[in-house]
Amino acid sequence: MSIVVTGATGSLGRFVIEGLLEKVPADHITAVVRSEEKAAGFAARGVKIAVADYNTPETFDGLFSAGDKVLLISGNEIDKGRVGQHKVVLGAAKAAGVALFAYTSAPGSLSAALADDHRNTETAILDSGVPYVLLRNGWYNENYTEHLAPVLQANAVTQAAGEGRVATAARADYAAAAVAVLTGEGHGNATYELSGDTAWSFAEYAAELARQTGKEIGYNAVSVETYTDILTDHAGFPAPVAAILGGVETSIEKGELAVTSGDLSRLTGRPTTPIADSISAALKG
């Protein structure tokens, strides 16, 4: 039996593997990756490596074994048929008779189009009959702190979320919740609404950036149309992706990502990482 993690060298997957290595022997962990080279560090520590691609179904044939616990980290190609990709992994897991199938989904409160792939994947999981855990991950601190350069250059946080608030947490927090589920008991057929302990506004975020940098940084609230234009014209996002991200801004303004259920801190046994801490880490970079 293995604990199998897809997307294991991605931004979230790396944290999951590191967390698992603290809890279980390395040879009980299988990292599913597209590039064996990127997983060399994990292989050197004894983690099993499996090379597979969501877009190549046959690479998942025989990858799972009966009794495995699987974490499907959702694909990041949000405009390229993620549900079909996820069904490839789900089908292979069902055929093998895995003990648990965990999936990183989106908050149940999120109505933006970004949630559609996640809802459809959840439906497929429930219909499959596999024992499941739905990890409905909220927004990450790093969604903002990894892209500080243009903010610091412009001395402005530009978003289209109005006065909406968002309850973010660090990727490491969400990874720790996944590790708790994969290494613990009693999580079968559970759904967890995961978010940070505290919701913040972009005006507060700008003020915290100003405090930590000593710069005058304000919040520039723009329309969704202006925001999507910025994403396409200046950040290089394809128009369909920009539209999806613009929809998330509307959801934030409505308060859909401000929910603080407490599930994340309960699963990890510790408070979630404040946005101020992630700002500090990013500035020290």
CA distances from 280 to 141, 150, 208, 277 (A): 11, 17, 10, 5
Residues 195-237 pLDDT 10s: 999 999 999 999 999 999 999 999 999 999 999 999 999 899 9
Chain center to CA of 265: 16
Mean of per-residue pLDDT scores for the chain: 96
Chain center to CA of 36: 22
What are the structure tokens assigned to 274, written together?
């404040």
What is the share, in percent, of the chain residues with pLDDT greater than 70? 99
Residues 119-154 pLDDT 10s: 999 999 999 999 999 999 999 999 999 999 999 999
pLDDT value of position 76: 81
**The whole model's pTM is what?**
0.97
Residues 80-92 pLDDT 10s: 689 999 999 999 9
Whether residue 187 is predicted with pLDDT greater than 90 in this model: the reply is yes
pLDDT value of position 1: 79
| DSSP conformational letter for 169 | B
Higher pLDDT, 272 or 147: 272
What are the structure tokens assigned to 67, written together?
């009794």
Distance CA 138, CA 114 (A): 12
Q: Where are the domains of the chain?
A: 3-139+169-195+259-273
> For the structural domain made of 3-139+169-195+259-273, what CATH number should be given?
3.40.50.720
